[in-house]
Chains A and B, each alone.
Chain A
């Protein structure tokens, strides 16, 4: 095997698409004496939310806004993350209309990791794209579908569980499982469909994966406590809006503006009473001419499939996703009990934000730098800084209730 063949080729490909910036020199080790010995060493596992992904990108600024970082600060414990150089990998969006990204670069840009000069374990081992299989799955393994360049940039050839164990944590949080339903929810196609949808992880597989995770955590002798966070009910993500809203002229005008054309609403599948949800990304598909300029709200028959299915979640699919997430969270809650961990179901808070109007039903395109409100980033999926604060404080409440600690809320 030739070293240069792979190493140089791979790196050259990255560099071609990258802007390598100087090291930020940002201190990535926080804290001093923890607020409680329980938090002497804290490790966070998870996916893009925990890693600090926002607005379809990640860099050392978005990483620092992660609820996990906020938790570490609240714990007043040392915390090290694999910081991604600015502008990012890829750089986050800063305008949803123009799709402009930080630094004016593309979603193929990767500015690589800022390597700390100090040997030490990683405290944030979360990787964007990770599923319930990822933390303990063989690298590479069946999870290859969701592996990406960040898998290596953050974990460097080991699994989340391995990196977590190396840190010898006394406390650990895990928020994993959202990606087991997210891609299917966004595509509107729940069965696994190669090239289109990753599908929904079966409850049996999900349970097996979480049991593996629990076993891995039980094998960490230093671990004294932790918190597991439930899966988000992805049908409530702000990127999905009610199809019926398109009968609102303002909403329709906004959607057409995003699609770059005047779209039509199929009256047969989209009556005003429809309960289907539309992924706002449909507008982008129409703009790029990969979807006709017509909105269908129910799956069409062959040969028109997947029209009406792609980017659309009908009532049946919504119920299926909701039931699956509910079942997932029952598994997670049970595993938390078996581990003696705290458990947090994030869904009531998300529903409360939508109910209160803090999360708009349809993206506010007149505010292209904050179309989903202050709690969600520009991709309409991932929490913004304000939501990370809510999550951190909710986790803190759960931890204090479980362990009788007095971790202060973060600001």
Chain B
């Protein structure tokens, strides 16, 4: 049986790739509370804590002694979809997530070099919709958690100037749960005729698919940092693309009841009163197309990041920084999904169309040291979406965003500093689609006007808390 388009149900990679892409495209980058509070504009004038290992591996040469920076962010994404056909709003159901970060750095006093290691989550996102969401066939629940572990070495090669970097080992876990649409499934023995052509409405859920996979990859993160005169600093970092190969990811299917009953003279040739579900049950048997114990392989490129900035420290106790960030999402144009087992034999393997473009962002931050000893921070970002109009999906309907940040750094004794930050992500909303795009399908050549069937809204609130310890 050829469940070709049924494979759309399995496009976990489609769900994963945008997750990966849009997680960064979404641009939270909640790595260190100081950086969050300063609008992530920290490559030039760093936060003076070990999170510089991520934000600018070179600037750690300017730290002093042994330091620890540890914390987590609480990320709450709010989203919704307004369907054109009914005007009804479908609210997202995204759970709060707590991506952690931890960095350790050692810069000997009066030394030109620094050593450190960090663990952070540059790509990670959870999207979840309720069971009645019409886009659940694209994604009902998706989770990506890519943890990067980076040893770091920095060296001051000239007064005020340093370089740094290190290899990055990434561990990525993905999970996807989605509904399977009977309407797009070919009728067994039907010569390619789909259930939809026989009257089964699109959006008829007859199965659920659960997919879990993990992968690891290697990359690197490098940076350069320098001072220009007494009041200006510049910096740049480059995090390389990392190719994650999710091999033998587990796929399991469960039958869902459609409760449809065939009328007389139906085109299936079944007697009047036949429950459609009874005709579908054999497809879930061991060895059948939707039987258990199957696997899928795919690759996901986590894109490269380039960020450069300039900072001015000429105002008393006040630092102003401006950064430009470029993310190489352009590499996400196609994605192959290769099944292993009956699903592949049935022709489920397919190629998804993403057509992402590179993303640009402008980041601005201000920090002021108050006489009382604490530091106040504010920031603003504008982030252009990498997703074209045809790739605004239930997984994460990416759109241009504005970040508003505020935070505080509070010394606690001689060795401790508590950083807290709040980030609000604001958008204007964007039209989007509920259905996938695959090569060879009509959707591949359809325009955004043809594909998009509603309006997505999206915002997020992030609370970040970090503790800095100087030993």
When C-beta atoms are compared, the residue in chain B nearest to A145 turns out to be: B264
Instruction: Tell me the chain A residues, 1-34 only, with Cβ under 8 Å from chain B.
Output: 1-4, 6-15, 20, 23, 25, 27, 29
Contacts A14-B267, A120-B83, A139-B261; is A156 near B442 (CB within 8 Å)? no
Closest CB-CB distance, B350 to chain A, in whole Å?
15
> Whole-angstrom distance between the alpha carbons of A147 and B266 in the complex?
8
Q: Is A122 an interface residue (CB 8 A)?
A: yes
Residues from chain B with a CB closer than 8 A to the CB of A4 are: 188-189
CA distance A2 to B434 in the complex (A): 33
Complex contacts, A15 vs chain B, CB 8 Å: 190-191, 193
Complex Cα gap A112–B267 (Å): 9
Residue on A with the closest CB to B434? Answer: A119
Contacting residues, chain B, for A124 (C-beta < 8 A): none
User: In the bound complex, do residue A115 and residue B266 qualify as a contact, i.e. CB atoms below 8 Å apart?
Assistant: no
User: Is B345 positioned at the interface, with any CB of A under 8 Å from its CB?
Assistant: no
Return the CB mask of A77-102 against B: 1 if under 8 Å, else 0. 01010100100000000000000000
Which secondary structure characterizes the binding site on chain A?
A: loop
Determine if A292 is an interface residue (Cβ-Cβ < 8 Å): no
**Contact status of A118 and B435, CB under 8 A, knowing A25-B442, A157-B200:** yes
B262 beta carbon closer than 8 Å to chain A: yes
B263 at the A/B interface (Cβ < 8 Å)? yes
Q: Are B269 and A9 in contact (CB under 8 A)?
A: yes
User: Is there an interface contact between B202 and A115, defined as CB atoms closer than 8 Å?
Assistant: yes
Chain B residues with CB under 8 Å of A156's CB are: 198-201, 204, 260
Seed contacts A29-B84, A120-B203, A153-B198; 15 additional CB < 8 Å A-B pairs: A1-B274, A2-B282, A7-B270, A10-B267, A29-B453, A112-B198, A119-B137, A119-B203, A139-B262, A140-B273, A144-B264, A147-B264, A151-B266, A157-B200, A168-B86
A residues in contact (CB < 8 Å) with B: 1-4, 6-15, 20, 23, 25, 27, 29, 40-41, 78, 80, 82, 85, 110, 112-123, 139-140, 144, 147-149, 151-158, 163, 167-168
In the complex, what distance in Å separates the CA atom of A80 from the CA atom of B85? 8
Check B278–A11 contact: CB distance below 8 A: no
User: If the complex has contacts A10-B267, A119-B434, are A3 and B188 also in contact, measured as CB distance less than 8 A?
Assistant: yes
From known contacts A11-B268, A115-B184, A118-B435, infer whether A152 and B86 are also in contact, taking CB-CB under 8 Å: no
- In contact, B190 and A11 (Cβ under 8 angstroms): yes
A-B interface, 4 closest residue pairs, ranked by CB to CB distance from nearest: A10-B269, A8-B189, A115-B196, A157-B260
In whole angstroms, what is the CA distance A115 to B203 when docked? 11
Please name all residues of chain A whose beta carbon is closer than 8 Å to the beta carbon of B199 when the two chains form the complex: 82, 113, 152-157
Bound CA–CA A1/B278 (angstroms): 7
A112 engages B189 (CB within 8 Å): no
Choice from A7, A23, A121 contacting B86 with Cβ under 8 Å: A121
Does B87 reach chain A (CB closer than 8 Å)?
Answer: yes
Across the interface, which residues of B come within 8 angstroms of A12, CB to CB? 189-191
Assembly CA distance A122 to B183 (angstroms): 14
Residue B166 is within 8 A (CB to CB) of chain A in the complex: no
B265 A148 Cβ-Cβ under 8 A: yes
B262 touches which of A9, A27, A40, A157 (Cβ 8 Å): A157
Chain B contacts for A113, CB-based, 8 A: 196-199
Chain A, residue nearest B205 (CB) = A119
**Whole-angstrom distance from the CB of A241 to the nearest CB of chain B?**
31
B450 & A27 in contact (Cβ 8 Å cutoff): yes
Nearest A residue (CB) for B137: A119
Bound complex: CA A1 to CA B282 (Å): 9
- Which of A110, A118, A122, A139 meets B453, CB within 8 Å? A118
Report Cα–Cα, A7/B185, bound state, in Å: 12
Which residues of B (266-314) have their CB < 8 Å from a CB of A?
Answer: 266-270, 272-274, 276, 278-283
Given contacts A119-B202, A120-B85, A147-B264, contact A7 B197 (CB under 8 A): no
Can you offer 29 A-B residue contacts whose CB atoms are under 8 A? A1-B274, A1-B278, A2-B282, A6-B269, A7-B269, A8-B189, A9-B269, A10-B266, A10-B267, A10-B268, A13-B269, A15-B193, A20-B193, A23-B442, A27-B450, A78-B85, A78-B86, A82-B199, A85-B197, A116-B202, A118-B451, A119-B434, A120-B85, A121-B201, A149-B266, A152-B267, A156-B198, A157-B260, A167-B86
* Closest chain B residue to A23, Cβ basis: B442
Closest to B433 in A: A118
Report the separation of the CA atoms of residues A40 and B189 in the bound assembly, to the nearest whole angstrom.
Answer: 41
- A118 to B452 alpha-carbon distance, docked (Å): 9
- A152 and B268 in contact (CB under 8 A), knowing A82-B199, A112-B197? yes
* Bound-state Cα–Cα, A148 to B451, Å: 32
Nearest CB on B from A148, distance (A): 5
> Nearest CB to that of A222 among chain B residues?
B86
Most buried by A among B87, B135, B201, B203: B201
- Provide the residues of chain B in CB contact with A23, threshold 8 Å: 442
Contact call B279/A7, Cβ cutoff below 8 A = yes
Question: Residue on A with the closest CB to B442?
Answer: A23
Per-residue contact bits, chain B 421-434, to A (CB 8 Å; 1 contact, 0 not):
00000000000011
Contacts of A153 in B (CB 8 A): 198-199, 267
In the assembled complex, the Cα of A120 lies from the Cα of B85 at a distance in Å of 7
Q: Which single member of B200, B260, B272, B443 contacts A140 (CB below 8 Å)? A: B272
**Chain A residues whose CB sits within 8 angstroms of the CB of B86 once the complex forms:** 40-41, 78, 121, 167-168
By a CB distance below 8 angstroms, the chain B residues around A149 are 265-267
For A10, give the chain B residue with the smallest CB separation: B269
Asked if B317 is at the interface of the complex by the 8 Å CB criterion, the answer is no
Chain A residues near B84 (CB-CB < 8 A):
29, 78
Does B434 lie within 8 Å of A118, measured CB to CB?
Answer: yes
Which single member of B187, B263, B453 contacts A11 (CB below 8 Å)? Answer: B187
Report yes or no: A8 in contact with B263, Cβ–Cβ below 8 A.
Answer: no
Interface flag for B181 (CB, 8 Å): yes
Query: Does B194 interact with chain A (Cβ within 8 Å)?
Result: yes
Which residues of A sit under 8 angstroms from B193, Cβ to Cβ? 11, 14-15, 20, 112
Smallest beta-carbon distance A357→chain B, Å = 39
Contact A157 B263 (CB under 8 A): yes
Is the pair A7, B187 in contact by a Cβ cutoff of 8 Å? yes
Tell me whether B258 is interfacial, beta carbon within 8 Å.
yes
B25 located at the interface, meaning its Cβ lies under 8 Å from any Cβ of chain A in the complex: no
Residue of B nearest to A122 (CB): B201
Per the bound structure, the CA–CA distance linking A117 and B270 in Å amounts to 26
Task: Tell me the minimal C-beta distance from B256 to chain A in angstroms.
Answer: 14
With both beta carbons as reference points, the residue of chain B lying nearest to A31 in the complex is identified as B84
Report chain B residues within 8 Å CB of A29.
Answer: 84-85, 453
Are A1 and B263 closer than 8 Å at their CB atoms?
Answer: no
Of the residues B197, B260, B282, contact of A3 by C-beta under 8 Å: B282
For the complex formed, measure the closest distance between the CB of A32 and the CB atoms of chain B, giving whole angstroms. 8
In the complex, what distance in Å separates the CA atom of A157 from the CA atom of B197? 13
Q: How far is the CB of B201 from chain A (nearest CB, A)?
A: 5
Q: Which of B85, B183, B451 has the most CB of A within 10 A?
A: B85
A113 CA to B202 CA, complexed, in Å: 12
Chain B residues contacting A123 (CB-CB under 8 Å) are 85
- Contacts of B200 on A, CB cut-off 8 Å? 156-157
Among A82, A117, A139, A151, max chain B CB count under 10 A is at A117
Cα(A114)–Cα(B137), bound, Å = 19
Contact between B273 and A7, CB atoms less than 8 A apart: no
B181→A119 contact, CB < 8 A:
yes
Contact A158 B260 (CB under 8 A): yes
Contact flags B156-200 to A (C-beta < 8 A → 1, else 0):
000000000000000000000000010110011111011011111
Distance in angstroms between the alpha carbons of A140 and B273 in the assembled complex: 5
Instruction: Tell me the chain B residues, 399-429 only, with Cβ under 8 Å from chain A.
Output: none
Q: Mark B75-104, 1 if CB is under 8 A from A, else 0.
A: 000000001111110000000000000000
